[in-house]
Amino acid sequence: MVTGKSIAKQTNSGMVQAFCPGGRKVLGGGITGVHDTWLEVSENGPAGAAEGWEAWAYNASPSVSLTMYVWAICAYVS
């Protein structure tokens, strides 16, 4: 599961969540971005009761909007 979000130029931040479908639980995940030299990640970890992955990031670029992508690795667990 992958979810993306655009963050406007400098001084803007955003949060993205990627949720697991159909009763699956998150085993891991992460964040990446376009022009990620300017992407400063402040939080990155499981969302809720292992229902997905979430990340908060800040755009430090003085002139470029960035897109960040959060992904979750999901599976049925017992």
Q: How many CA atoms lie within 13 A of 70 on its CB side?
A: 24
Q: Where are the beta strands (DSSP E) in 1-78?
A: 2-7, 12-19, 25-34, 39-47, 52-59, 66-75
- Is the pLDDT reported for residue 55 higher than 90? yes
Number of domains making up the chain: 1
Q: What is the pTM of this model?
A: 0.86
Range of the domain at 54: 2-75
- Closest by alpha carbon to 18, among 47, 42, 43, 41? 47
- Is the pLDDT reported for residue 78 higher than 90? no
Residue 37: pLDDT band with limits 50, 70, 90: confident
Would you state the pLDDT for residue 69?
94
Q: Report the pLDDT averaged over residues 47-54.
A: 94
Q: Report the pLDDT averaged over residues 42-48.
A: 95
